[in-house]
Structure 1
Amino acid sequence: MGDEEKPSRVRMTPGARRVLEAAERLFYERGIHAVGVDLIAAEAGVTKKTLYDRFGSKEQIVVEYLAGRDERWRGLLGAHLDAVAEQGPAARVLAVFEASRAWVAEYGAKGCGMINAHAEISDPAHPAHPVITGQKRWMLDLFTRLAREVDAGGADRLARTLMLLHEGALVAYGLGVFPDPFGQALGQVRDLLGEGAAGKRDVPPR
């Protein structure tokens, strides 16, 4: 999870893996609160005792679900960024949005799993809460680093704008209110990067 505090994780046995695979599907499709441990155990083909022996609590299953999803997202994003590593800062910013477009097409039919989870888990004391907020802080940090390469003087403002466009596209995709929100966001980002490049010539880096 980057530099943020890492949650406690469970060692995956075959039984634990079956539980987690069932929970991941059910939590994303139906919601975390709507899915109980009885259903997870039944879908995984294990007893409730096995479930609790492996995870200890439903809360820990939620941690594993979200942390695993976060790891997969960061892996996909990293591959997209590596692919454009030599193409300049604008290409790297655009690659984040292209990665998200690819992610939702494969894993995000119902929108962002972190945003959906936060709608149900708003208590900072919940062990999964740092996973949710940690991913979004990490994304803002990433946008800030990339924005400094585009316009060092206006990096914070540009990064927050990019973050808003990114998160808005995730929400719009999940709601299905209009087609291809990431295509819309990419158009806005290209406009911003054009302005940022001009600004970089006018404002010396600090």
Structure 2
Amino acid sequence: MISVGDLRAGMTFEKDGKLIKVLDASHHKPGKGNTVMRMKLKDLRSGATTETTMRPDEKVKKAHIDTKDVQYLYIQDDVATFMDLTTYEQYEIPVEVIKEELKFLLDNMEVSIQFYESEVVGVSLPTTVILTVAETQPSIKGATVSGSGKPAVMETGLVVSVPDFIETGEKLEINTSNGDYVRRAK
């Protein structure tokens, strides 16, 4: 058991039969009353995210999540398929559960999948990924890095705000935690 006040982003716990990952957690002291934890949570089984408040002294059961390195293969019939690189065992995850992560995945990319006991519950991405710009407005002559930016559609369908000088076909480094442009890929 762990106190809600000790939960941090990235931790996982069980409550009411649900497996929940903390996306964001912060202490909040309203003008009157007791301190509460404001939390953004994701149900790992359904993929649903919610925002809630909980008492910091409330107890929840901490869930131990194991990971395994795999290769992303393909999507078929709303199921994403991954393969263990050592045993060649294949794992299937419903697209609905990992729809945000799929915006950063390319065929044959190596990632980690997360297990709770024997159940596959998610995908762990690298900090950044290299994606190619599939579509964007033409670059503007004399554009600087500090410009307002423009939207670019990446090869996975992810839409990223990029500097005005970026052109279609360029490879960019993208942060997987927030979907932001980092820099041109080397």
With normalisation by structure 2, the TM-score equals 0.24
Which has a greater percent of helix?
Answer: 1
Higher RCO, 1 vs 2 (CA within 8 Å, ≥6 residues apart): 1
- Scaled by the length of structure 1, the TM-score of the pair is 0.23
